[in-house]
């Protein structure tokens, strides 16, 4: 096979600063060993997130200059509305400043005490927005996902048997919605197949339950459906996305991912009465209906990004480059979630740092070593992020102890990725020196963003 090449040329560059290991050791200490509290100037390769970190194209930057900043009825709004309606098949489109604003609007309307949400896996802000209303959120990813390292084409799917069980157990009336996250971010960036989505639609119809698609990585998901699901090889990525989104009653999108923009979000719904309730909240908290939380230029860039993201060459490069990193790490003996997902490589830190007990956070240990050795920033997706405490204050660990290396879109080149792969030689050599971490400060919600840690010696 030929070397993977980026299907773009670079027209503008942003310098990266090279630092020493001693410097990074001090930076970590100052940041309370939390990568979210590091200065980005002190990071060499930033794989913290693929959210809002992508590079826009020349066409998008051109669109920025053409943005219509009118308060009401702006051209850029009409452009975005057209693109969003065409993609989702949903008539009512609400622009928000990012994904969680769309979540807050929708879930505060349909949630509340006594309500239950069921998902393949709720993303952390999704769960937080739901629980904040007093509702409960249940994750029921398919059983194949439990076997982290074995191949299965659609490990992001929901468990259909458990879905029916949960509905029967709680009663259809108390189920606020079934939320399908595509790709399934917190479960390894794994895709969801059309068959699973259609089955969820049928169950929701049977019980009269709303189906929401959290589709911030819908284009990446479409790539996997095209290449792995029978009957989709002759359909375009855009048509596959259309078919999938059309199955939902509502669509939530953090446009910072497959919208190919640095800020933005969307909420689209089919039902008029629901759209009116959402619109009222939008106006109170985000902005008027034709801009929401966005400026005209943001909407213009998003309308263009939502079209570009379905480009065949772009999507092939995108998925192949993430897979390249994952395959090379696996070849070195690093345990990774398999197959490799769309936007990130997930490393099984419980296995790689097996000498660190779960309540001393093996994922955090790997995150810290990667920064120390290579200036690489990534994020723990394990018991720091999802752990809870029982009544005695003992940690209830997360299902897995993963570390996510998310790849910003169109930002790093093949040689940056090769550098990351090289740094793992050091990690394999030094990992046993790291004894894990204890938390010295944590807030009540979403603790991973602001917690402080200290190393255990």
Q: Would you say 365 and 35 are in contact if contact means Cβ atoms under 8 Å apart?
A: no
Q: Would you say 192 and 153 are in contact if contact means Cβ atoms under 8 Å apart?
A: no
SS3 helix, strand, coil % of the chain, rounded to 5? Answer: 45, 15, 40
DSSP labels for 21-38?
HHHHHHHHHHTTT-GGGS
Q: Which of 76, 88, 125, 196 binds ligand F0G (CB under 6 A)?
A: 125
Q: Which of 42, 46, 68, 214 binds ligand F0G (CB under 6 A)?
A: 214
Q: Taking CB under 6 A as the rule, which mask of x and - marks residues 39-78 in contact with ligand F0G?
A: ----------x-x---------------------------
Q: How far apart are CA 22 and CA 19, in angstroms?
A: 8
Specify the residue, 262 or 289, whose C-beta has the smaller distance to ligand F0G.
262
Q: Does 96 bind ligand F0G (CB under 6 A)?
A: no
Least distance between ligand F0G and beta carbon 266 (Å): 10
Q: Which of 204, 216, 241, 325 binds ligand F0G (CB under 6 A)?
A: 216
Q: How far apart are CA 200 and CA 184, in angstroms?
A: 15
Q: Taking CB under 6 A as the rule, which mask of x and - marks residues 264-293 in contact with ligand F0G?
A: -x----------------------------
Specify the residue, 139 or 360, whose C-beta has the smaller distance to ligand F0G.
139
Residues 6+ apart with CB under 8 A from 305: 56, 57, 60, 255, 258, 259, 260, 261
Q: Which of 34, 76, 119, 181 binds ligand F0G (CB under 6 A)?
A: 181
Q: Which of 84, 431, 433 is nearest to 268 (CA)?
A: 84
Least distance between ligand F0G and beta carbon 97 (Å): 8
Q: Taking CB under 6 A as the rule, which mask of x and - marks residues 131-170 in contact with ligand F0G?
A: ----------------------------------------
CA 414 to chain centroid: 22
Q: Which of 450, 257, 274 is nearest to 266 (CA)?
A: 257
**Residue 263 to residues 98, 126, 199, 255, Cα–Cα distance (Å):** 6, 18, 33, 7
Q: From 34-42, 60-68, 92-100, 156-164, give the range in contact with ligand F0G by CB under 6 A.
A: 92-100
Q: From 4-12, 121-129, 165-173, 273-281, give the range in contact with ligand F0G by CB under 6 A.
A: 121-129
Site of interaction with ligand F0G (CB under 6 A)? 49, 51, 98-100, 123, 125-126, 181, 185, 214, 216, 254, 256, 265
């Amino acid at each position: 096979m030929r070397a993977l090449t980026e299907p773009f040329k670079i027209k503008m560059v942003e310098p990266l600063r090279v630092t020493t290991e001693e410097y990074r050791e001090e930076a970590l200490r100052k940041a309370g060993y939390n990568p979210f509290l590091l200065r980005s100037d002190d990071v060499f390769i930033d794989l913290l997130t693929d959210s809002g970190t992508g590079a826009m194209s020349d066409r998008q930057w051109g669109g920025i200059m053409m943005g219509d900043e009118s308060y009401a009825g702006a051209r850029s709004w009409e452009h975005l509305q057209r693109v969003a309606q065409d993609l989702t098949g949903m008539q009512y489109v609400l622009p928000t400043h990012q994904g969680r604003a769309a979540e807050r609007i929708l879930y505060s309307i349909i949630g509340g005490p006594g309500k239950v949400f069921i998902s393949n896996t709720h993303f952390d802000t999704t769960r937080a927005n739901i629980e904040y209303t007093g509702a409960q959120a249940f994750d029921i990813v398919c059983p194949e996902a439990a076997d982290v390292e074995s191949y299965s084409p659609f490990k992001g799917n929901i468990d259909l048997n458990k879905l029916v069980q949960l509905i029967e157990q709680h009663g259809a009336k108390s189920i606020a919605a079934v939320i399908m996250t595509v790709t399934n971010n917190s479960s390894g960036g794994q895709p969801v197949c059309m068959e699973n989505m259609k089955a969820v639609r049928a169950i929701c119809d049977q019980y009269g339950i709303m189906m929401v698609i959290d589709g911030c990585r819908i284009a990446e998901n479409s790539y996997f459906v095209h290449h792995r699901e029978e009957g989709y090889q002759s359909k375009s990525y855009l048509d596959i996305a259309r078919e999938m989104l059309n199955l939902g009653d509502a669509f939530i999108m953090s446009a910072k991912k497959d919208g190919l923009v640095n800020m933005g979000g969307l909420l689209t719904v089919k039902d008029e009465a629901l759209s009116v309730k959402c619109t009222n909240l939008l106006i109170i908290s985000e902005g008027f209906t034709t801009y929401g939380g966005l400026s005209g230029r943001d909407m213009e860039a998003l309308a263009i990004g939502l079209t570009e993201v379905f480009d065949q060459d772009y999507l092939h490069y995108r998925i192949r480059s993430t897979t390249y990193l994952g395959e090379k790490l696996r070849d070195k003996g690093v345990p990774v979630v398999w197959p490799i997902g769309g936007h990130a490589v997930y490393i099984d830190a419980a296995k790689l740092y097996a000498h660190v007990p779960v309540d001393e956070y093996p994922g955090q240990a790997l995150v810290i070593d990667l920064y120390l050795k290579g200036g690489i920033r990534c994020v723990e997706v394990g018991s720091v992020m999802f752990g809870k405490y029982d009544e005695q204050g003992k940690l209830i660990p997360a299902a897995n102890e993963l570390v996510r290396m998310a790849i910003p879109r169109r930002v790093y080149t093949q040689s940056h990725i090769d550098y990351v792969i090289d740094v793992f030689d050091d990690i394999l050599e030094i990992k046993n020196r790291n004894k894990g971490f204890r938390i010295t400060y944590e807030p009540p919600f979403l603790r991973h963003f602001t917690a402080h840690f200290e190393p255990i010696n």
